[in-house]
Amino acid sequence: MLTPNARTADQSDAAPLFAALGDETRLALVDRLCAGGPLSIARLTAGSTVTRQAITKHLQILAAVGLVHDRWHGRERIWELDTARLDEARRRLDQISQQWDEALNRLKRFVED
Amino acid sequence: MLTPNARTADQSDAAPLFAALGDETRLALVDRLCAGGPLSIARLTAGSTVTRQAITKHLQILAAVGLVHDRWHGRERIWELDTARLDEARRRLDQISQQWDEALNRLKRFVED
DNA sequence: ATGAAATGCAACTATTTGGTTGCGTACCCT
DNA sequence: AGGGTACGCAACCAAATAGTTGCATTTCAT
């Protein structure tokens, strides 16, 4: 429809995603799941400075924005990156950065006139 | 050098950047500065639900990660996107998403074996 | 069957965060 | 000169956040 006030269509709920990533511990968790594949809470806790319960909470926050999901395997709760959602998130990041890029180019053209 | 444990080189301080973007109000500010060019605090406050002081604080948070910077013009404090840093941030986002992408592909290959 | 391992749940705490109000100051304009 | 406009600074507040500890539950392995 391209209404005059179109702005920010898809990035409307980008803030919670950024917020979920805006923590060192959580970013490290994403990192480890990225590099190491599915891991149990105990595994993820080992090497971390914080307690298992803290790790659990962080994982739940990541799950709330769909970046990870869990699966039970015996007495272990295995967490893994949600590849579909993660890819979606990646595309959203690209999209936002592209929006910024376009806007910046417009600004540059404006300044250079 | 490609050491065995290379991971996360440049995304070390990505968390504060994500955190700065992880707030609706701040994301909206970035948005407005993106679309509308440099604006004063009063201008940025108009149309927002929160007070001028709140806006000021948010701008300072964005400034702390280098996304915006300010410049005095008479009695007005003009805020604008820091294009250089923003571009850097954009590239960092791309880089992280690419890292994720590669890791996910590795995971997929691993699963499909 | 029993003990250790992996986890959940709940209560509690301290710090950070997002926001406010009140008041003072600098600047512009008529 | 004097009033309105744009802003800073500081104190304050409520809610959210990141973390803890303590205890109960399930599951595995011997």
CATH architecture of B15-111: Orthogonal Bundle (1.10)
How would you write chain B as a 3-class SS string?
A: CCCCCCCCCHHHHHHHHHHHHCCHHHHHHHHHHHHHCCEEHHHHHCCCCCCHHHHHHHHHHHHHCCCEEEEEECCEEEEEECHHHHHHHHHHHHHHHHHHHHHHHHHHHHHCC
What secondary structure letter does DSSP report for A13?
Answer: G
Q: Is B55 within 8 Å of B45 (Cβ atoms)? A: yes
Structure tokens that stand for B64 in this block: 């702390």
Tell me whether residues B37 and A108 touch, CB distance under 8 A: no
In B 59-98, which Cβ lie closer than 7 Å to strand D? 75-78
Close Cβ partners of B76 (under 8 Å, ≥ 6 residues apart)? B40, B41, B42
> How far is B75 from A107, CA to CA, in rounded Å?
24
Interface of B with A (CB under 8 A): 7-8, 11, 14-24, 26-28, 30-31, 34-35, 37, 81, 83, 86-87, 90, 93-94, 96-97, 99-101, 103-104, 107-108, 110
CATH classification code of A14-111: 1.10.10.10
CB B5 within 8 A of CB B54: no
Q: Record the tokens describing residue B34, joined without a space.
A: 């993106």
Contacts of A27 in chain B (CB under 8 A): 11, 14-15, 18
- pLDDT digits over B22-68, tens only? 999 999 999 899 888 899 999 999 989 999 999 999 999 999 999 99
Residue B14 buriedness (CB in 10 A; 0-12 / 13-18 / 19+): buried
- Residue-wise pLDDT for A25-51, tens only, equals 999 999 899 888 899 999 999 989 999
User: What is the band of A104 on the pLDDT scale with cuts at 50, 70, 90?
Assistant: confident
Contact A23, A64 (CB under 8 A): no
The model's pLDDT over B62-87, given as tens digits with 9 standing for 90+, comes to 999 999 999 999 999 999 998 777 77
pLDDT digits (tens, 9 = 90+) for A60-80: 999 999 999 999 999 999 999
* Residue partners of A23: CB distance under 8 A and separation at least 6: A58, B15, B19
